[in-house]
């Protein structure tokens, strides 16, 4: 197994477990991540997912042995393989549960893609990021929709082209990560703070809010978009969660979904 998954008290901890390879991707890890996030996304007992990596690195991108095998494949075989990576990233990106990335060490190529797909990300000081594909004669094509959506075209045009390494502060400045922690303990405190906020929110509303961002981002404000958002809030107000949230507010009590 290249991945470990543990669920406790509604929190799923998904850990990349190839420390001897700096948690680099191969076919097995990609398949396991896809299955894990689809399954956890459908699990009503899960409120949030924490993604992290064992050992010295979060994820160093593509495994060298995997890349050597790919070099001998046909274009059609490489396309099918790339789609499996894309499917894995999409499973994380569209997972209805909040995804928190706890990032440390080396984060390269597809590892940056993982961070881009998370809803919240904290980087431990000293983390080094690199979109290194052009130095190998490749491009970050498969991860590009997710990375560009997170950091924007201007930043991508620099880091995709130069393949420079950048640190946690630069990752935060471009929006790839949201917080920087001085050490692992501080990162855990930040993560626990996010989890506490998520526990106070209605799980269905959180999933809908995540989908709302995906549906609204990058679109012009049109009559159709305004109608869509009006429909969304109307449905939320009429939902069981919406009614319970308002009742709890008026009664000055915690809503049913809130932790005791």
d(CA 1, CA 92): 19
Task: Please report the pLDDT score of residue 147 as a whole number.
Answer: 98
Q: Where are the domains of the chain?
A: 3-198, 202-251
- The radius of gyration of the chain's CA atoms, rounded to the nearest angstrom, is 19
Largest CA distance in the chain: 66
Q: Please classify residue 8 by burial: count the beta carbons closer than 10 Å to its beta carbon, then call 0-12 exposed, 13-18 middle and 19+ buried.
A: exposed
pLDDT in tens, the chain (260 residues): 799 999 999 999 999 999 999 999 999 999 999 999 999 999 999 999 999 999 999 999 888 777 777 777 788 888 888 899 999 999 999 999 999 999 999 999 999 999 999 999 999 999 999 999 999 899 999 999 999 999 999 999 999 999 999 999 999 999 999 999 999 999 999 999 999 999 999 999 999 999 999 999 999 999 999 999 999 999 999 999 999 999 999 999 999 998 65
In this prediction the pTM is 0.95
Q: Which CATH class is domain 3-198?
A: alpha beta
d(CA 58, CA 22): 7
Task: Please report the pLDDT score of residue 225 as a whole number.
Answer: 96
Task: Please report how the helices 75-93 and 110-117 are oriented relative to each other, as an axis angle in degrees rounded to 10.
Answer: 30
């Amino acid at each position: 197994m290249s991945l470990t998954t543990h669920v406790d008290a509604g929190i799923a901890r998904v850990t990349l477990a190839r420390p001897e390879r700096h948690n680099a991707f191969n076919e097995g890890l990609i398949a396991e991540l896809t299955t894990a996030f689809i399954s956890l996304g459908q699990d009503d007992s899960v409120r949030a997912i924490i993604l992290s990596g064992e050992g010295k690195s979060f994820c160093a991108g593509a495994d060298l042995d995997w890349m050597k095998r790919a070099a001998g494949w046909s274009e059609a075989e490489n396309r099918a393989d790339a789609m499996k990576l894309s499917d894995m990233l999409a499973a994380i990106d569209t997972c209805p549960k909040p995804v928190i990335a706890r990032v440390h060490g080396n984060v390269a190529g597809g590892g940056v893609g993982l961070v881009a797909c998370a809803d919240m990300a904290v980087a431990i000081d000293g983390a080094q990021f690199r979109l290194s594909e052009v130095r190998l004669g490749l491009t970050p094509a498969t991860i590009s929709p997710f990375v560009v959506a997170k950091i924007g075209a201007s930043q991508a045009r620099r880091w995709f082209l130069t393949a420079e390494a950048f640190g946690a502060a630069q990752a935060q400045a471009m929006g790839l990560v949201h917080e920087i922690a001085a050490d692992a303990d501080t990162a855990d405190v930040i993560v626990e703070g996010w989890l506490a906020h998520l526990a106070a929110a209605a799980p269905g509303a959180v999933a809908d809010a995540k989908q709302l961002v995906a549906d609204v981002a990058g679109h012009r404000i049109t009559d159709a978009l305004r109608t869509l958002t009006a429909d969304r809030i109307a449905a939320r107000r009429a939902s069981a969660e919406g009614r319970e949230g308002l009742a709890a507010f008026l009664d000055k009590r915690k809503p049913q979904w809130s932790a005791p």
